[in-house]
Structure 1
């Protein structure tokens, strides 16, 4: 089991230290960290010097993969703009003259969940821009629609009638912890026909739980997905802008799962 980390924390001195400490202490846990300096790559310029100083430090850890954030606005954003943002990330090493600025793939946020042929073509072109060539080390693609309907996940033709076959990981559920506990949602997710290695679950607004209960939650998420992120941050729009007090225990739970 691995951690898909929305690393939207501004990297002031020491701000990313919880990730570095966790990666060092738990070398068997794989972290896929999404960097997001300007709600995207800062397309007309480079990220500010604080990001330029911190992003290369991620490369010191063999168990941290780095993805660049690109929002598609549910494919309403012009495809040319999406491709330009992908190019910006790809050009970071050359522009900065620093190979450690190379990211390993792209995290596409705000992707559609309901299959439509024209949207598929849009996302296929975007995915190919990451997958083709050597501009991204792992050529890794993640989609985050926020929710994939249980009817899709439980269909024997899920890979044919969705966007899942374009990705390495799809976030099938990003919501408040309480909504994940809903019986219909919980049961449907655990009977998914899609391989767990292709799926991620992100839960925020967790209550203050014991380590034993956190272990149990991680085990239950693992019944659906091999990738997860949990946080007890409860402030809207701030869920991923800080490391929550539970982060260290979350990594411990994943390491022992």
Structure 2
């Protein structure tokens, strides 16, 4: 399993240290980190100096991949604005004269979940901009619709009725822990036939779990997806603006599972 981390934390001195510590201590764990300095890349300017100082430090860790955040407003944002934001990220190394100010791909947030021909063409154009972007090391594309219906996930025609063939990973469930446990959600999410390496699950509002129970939760998430992020932050709009106490245990659990698989 791997960690998909929405890093929407302002990088004041020491603010990203939990990530650095986790990446150093758990070299078998891959982190894909979403950077979001201005609800996007700061169109018309560079991120402030705090970001300019901190983002290059991520390059010191070979198990950290970086993605730039771009919202599509469920394909309602003008596609030219989306392409312009992707291009801003692509130009960061040149504009800053710093090759370490580089992202490896793009995280398209607020993507549609229900298939429409026009939306497919829209998202394909955005994906192609990433795939063709020579400064994106991995040319990695992620979508976050927040929720993909279990009817779509379990359909025999899932790749014709979704946008999964445009992405490297898709967040199929971003919700509260309690909603994850709901039988009508939990069972269908674990019965799909899609490659788990293409899917991610993000759970927030976790209760106070013991390490043993947390290990079990991660095992259950793995039945749906190979990418995850968990937080016990419960305040709306603050889920991804701090490292919660569960972060270190989550990474340790993922690392432990990886080592068990290799044994």
Residues 3 and 31 of structure 2 are in contact (CA less than 8 Å); yes or no, is this contact kept in structure 1?
yes
Moved over 3 A (4+): none
Deviations 1:102-154 (A, max 9, x none): 10000000000000000000000000000114220000000000000001110
Q: Tell me the equivalent position of 1:244.
A: 244
Deviations 1:166-224 (A, max 9, x none): 00000000000000000010000000121100000000000010000000000000001
Q: Extract unaligned runs of 5+ from structure 1.
A: none
**2: CA distance between counterparts of 1:252 and 1:218?**
11
Residues 110 and 144 of structure 1 are in contact (CA less than 8 Å); yes or no, is this contact kept in structure 2?
yes
Q: How does 1:161-172 map to 2 (within 5 A)?
A: 161-172=161-172
Q: Secondary structure at the match of 1:127?
A: helix
Q: Tell me the equivalent position of 1:44.
A: 44
Residues 2 and 31 of structure 2 are in contact (CA less than 8 Å); yes or no, is this contact kept in structure 1?
yes
Q: Tell me the equivalent position of 2:103.
A: 103
Q: Tell me the equivalent position of 2:8.
A: 8
Q: Tell me the equivalent position of 2:190.
A: 190
Residues 104 and 136 of structure 2 are in contact (CA less than 8 Å); yes or no, is this contact kept in structure 1?
yes
Q: Tell me the equivalent position of 2:127.
A: 127
- Over aligned residues, Cα RMSD in angstroms? 0.5
**1: CA distance between counterparts of 2:157 and 2:27?**
36
**2: CA distance between counterparts of 1:233 and 1:249?**
15
Q: Secondary structure at the match of 1:200?
A: strand
**2: CA distance between counterparts of 1:154 and 1:228?**
20
Q: How does 1:80-229 map to 2 (within 5 A)?
A: 80-229=80-229
Residues 107 and 142 of structure 1 are in contact (CA less than 8 Å); yes or no, is this contact kept in structure 2?
yes
Residues 155 and 193 of structure 1 are in contact (CA less than 8 Å); yes or no, is this contact kept in structure 2?
no
Mapped pair 1:33 → 2:33: yes
**2: CA distance between counterparts of 1:167 and 1:136?**
15
Q: Secondary structure at the match of 2:100?
A: helix
Q: Secondary structure at the match of 1:101?
A: coil
Q: Secondary structure at the match of 1:254?
A: helix
Q: How many residues align?
A: 257
Deviations 1:4-46 (A, max 9, x none): 0000000000000000000000000000000000000001100
**1: CA distance between counterparts of 2:236 and 2:133?**
38
Structure 1 residue 256: deviation in Å?
A: 1.2
Residues 5 and 31 of structure 1 are in contact (CA less than 8 Å); yes or no, is this contact kept in structure 2?
yes
**2: CA distance between counterparts of 1:117 and 1:83?**
19
Structure 1 residue 233: deviation in Å?
A: 0.6
Q: What TM-score comes out, normalization by structure 1 length?
A: 0.99
Q: Extract unaligned runs of 5+ from structure 2.
A: 258-263
